[in-house]
Amino acid sequence: MTTTTRSGSRNQRNNPYLFDGLFVTFHHSAAGVAWRWRTELAILLALTAALWRLTLLITIIRAAITLAALVLVLLAVPVTRRFITRRFWCVLARHRIQRLCYEARLHTRTGRLPLVLWTRPTKVGERARVLCRAGICAEDFEAHIGELRAACFARDARVSRNPRWSQLVTIDIIRRDTLAASQSVPSPLQALGPPRTGLPPKAAHSLALITSDPPHNEH
């Protein structure tokens, strides 16, 4: 019993997150939650409104089948599929950045996290614009580059601040290397094979020996 008590006291003393629950209270307002899940809420409201509208015209089962078929068509068309895929990664990057700010303690002493204003796709990944609150700066994100790229499942991550408004931080999530070769092009000369001399094999071998470097004379 004494050993258990001492072990518990030692674990509590060495716990780096012990004082987070005592002095930091995170704010979870309805507006903040709605802003964080704005994309999911907009999609849910749009699907609900479409389902309700179709239910007035046809049955609810046929309305659900129609919406499911519409989603499959959007995923089948290459243009819309690429748009949906890129937007999906933007939403995922936003959530992962916010989660990183919580886990890496990139928040104020009052428990306010940085605000991700928007995310948009780029040629190499995604770009997020973050509003830092008082007590947080761009250098804090630069110190957690490794955690940032790991949290976003990315190849790399870059952080830069606005030259005029230092509270605005731009985070570039690098997922693809556009300069890397996607495929190797073989040389057309490989299909021709070795050069032909028009000589028999023995004569070609003798000619190769004659044209090679002569041995050095030993003195």
Alpha-carbon distance of 80 to 86, in angstroms, equals: 10
pLDDT at 111: 81
- Does this model's pTM top 0.75? no
pLDDT at 200: 59
Alpha-carbon distance of 131 to 172, in angstroms, equals: 15
pLDDT at 93 over 60: yes
pLDDT at 89: 94
How many residues are listed for the chain in this entry? 219
pLDDT at 112: 85
| Cα-to-chain-centroid distance, residue 166 | 24
pLDDT at 208: 58
